[in-house]
Structure 1
Amino acid sequence: MFKTEKQSDLISEQDIWYVEYPIMEHFYTIQGEGAHTGRASYFIRTAGCDVNCWWCDVKESWEEEGHPKMTVRELVDAAKASKAPFVVITGGEPLLHDLLPLTLGLKSEGMKVHIETSGSSPLSGQLDWITLSPKRFKKPTEEVFAYVDELKVVVLTNKDLKWAEDNAAKCPEGTRLLLQPEWETPKSIDLIVDYVKENPEWGISLQTHKFLKVP
């Protein structure tokens, strides 16, 4: 687990419930990709992103403006009511925000907290599972690699396979290694299939939520 150091010096327990975050959406769903595919989960999608992948399918999350702000109390209550076994904080790029208040609130109610991030901003909060999805045009911080539970690399071309190898070399032993074809780049499927056959320490992640037609 990753924990922000000296958390008691950063914010009091009484104050965390009033901290606000710009939220694009939050919902109870089935996780569609990665190591936890098929599991019930509550998603909290923060607004704001400085990575801006051209293939992103939630470009409306890039700007903070225009999205409502929600308190930690509101978000925790919604997640708790769903009875989901864990919460996924995603974006946008969630690490543009200090996640300590939100994660403390979620964990105070007994919830596991996962994150999906590009790793391009400093880690914050208390996180039980870190999915790193690194992007070549805005590299992860070196700090994040020590805590990665799952490395999930979106593949369009052979350059992305080399990028995946470079990032995997920095991850701890036992990190789940996954390659994911870009949804609108069919040729990436053949690249990934051939690569995984030759490198079986890697697996394949698919965006099954798009087949299932769930958010």
Structure 2
Amino acid sequence: MSNLIETHSDSITDYLSVEYPIVEHFYTIQGEGAHTGRASYFIRTAGCDVNCWWCDVKESWEEEGHPLMKVGELVELVKESGAPFAVITGGEPLLHDLLPLTVALKEAGIKTHIETSGSSPLTGHLDWITLSPKRFKEPTDEIFDYVDELKVVVLTNKDLQWAEKNAARCPEGTQLLLQPEWDTPKSIPLIVDYVKENPQWGISLQTHKFLKVP
């Protein structure tokens, strides 16, 4: 399916000067989800209004205190790394208008992925959308038309019910993944049994933590 949100005709030159608050950016290996094991460039924006208690990057919640980086600078770093795609994550990246960054990456020949809770309006020219919905701040209706990958963090049976509720709204062909919460090992047998009984789902693991890859 296409996840290319329509762009408008602003100059790419104008886009290159747009700034985003950036927590960190680095060339790495995708650690979880459908693209696990692939080389990628991570761009982590600052600011989050979801605030999952199990979040392992709580420093990304506040937008203030992080450096502002221009789109042009970020695009050059991704190009120099040789990464085939960039992953925009957070925080909650959709708190920002991602059109300038994603259009500039596309112009540079770089595919752009996003991982989002979907709780803010969808913006940008995106090649892959991973929706990781949270029960305490639900996704917007519009994002479900574009989801490539639904990845639900599971702690209890309530999260399995939440996963099915969201899966029912995703397009046919969306990859469905359940991911155990890292510090809640009791969720692993829960997920394993569920996937055996419901094989339309798969399991996502945070392999970067096993491999100690940043």
Q: TM-score range by the shorter chain?
A: over 0.9
> What's the counterpart of residue 131 of structure 2?
132
> Using the alignment, how far apart are the partners of 1:200 and 1:3 within structure 2?
29
> What's the counterpart of residue 41 of structure 1?
40
1:6 deviation in Å? 5.1
> Using the alignment, how far apart are the partners of 1:47 and 1:2 within structure 2?
24
- Structure 1 residues not aligned, in runs of 5+: none
Tell me which amino acid in the other structure corresponds to 1:2.
Answer: N
> Using the alignment, how far apart are the partners of 1:4 and 1:196 within structure 2?
32
Tell me which amino acid in the other structure corresponds to 2:16.
Answer: W
Report if aligned partners of 1:119, 1:132 keep a CA contact under 8 Å in 2.
Answer: yes
Give the share of equivalent positions with the same residue, in percent: 81
Tell me which amino acid in the other structure corresponds to 2:123.
Answer: S
> What's the counterpart of residue 118 of structure 1?
117
Identify if the C-alpha distance between structure 1 residues 59 and 149 changes in structure 2 by more than 3 Å, giving closer, same or farther.
Answer: same
> What's the counterpart of residue 57 of structure 1?
56
1:14 deviation in Å? 2.0
Q: Secondary structure at the match of 1:14?
A: helix
* Residue correspondence of structure 1 range 1-215 to structure 2 within 5 A: 1-5=2-6, 7-8=8-9, 11-215=10-214
- Structure 2 residues not aligned, in runs of 5+: none
1:7 deviation in Å? 1.7
Report if aligned partners of 1:3, 1:124 keep a CA contact under 8 Å in 2.
Answer: no
> Using the alignment, how far apart are the partners of 2:103 and 2:38 within structure 1?
23
Q: TM-score, normalised by structure 2?
A: 0.98
Identify if the C-alpha distance between structure 1 residues 6 and 126 changes in structure 2 by more than 3 Å, giving closer, same or farther.
Answer: closer
Give the number of aligned pairs.
213
Q: In angstroms, what is the RMSD of aligned CA positions?
A: 0.8
Report if aligned partners of 1:2, 1:125 keep a CA contact under 8 Å in 2.
Answer: no
Report if aligned partners of 1:23, 1:69 keep a CA contact under 8 Å in 2.
Answer: yes
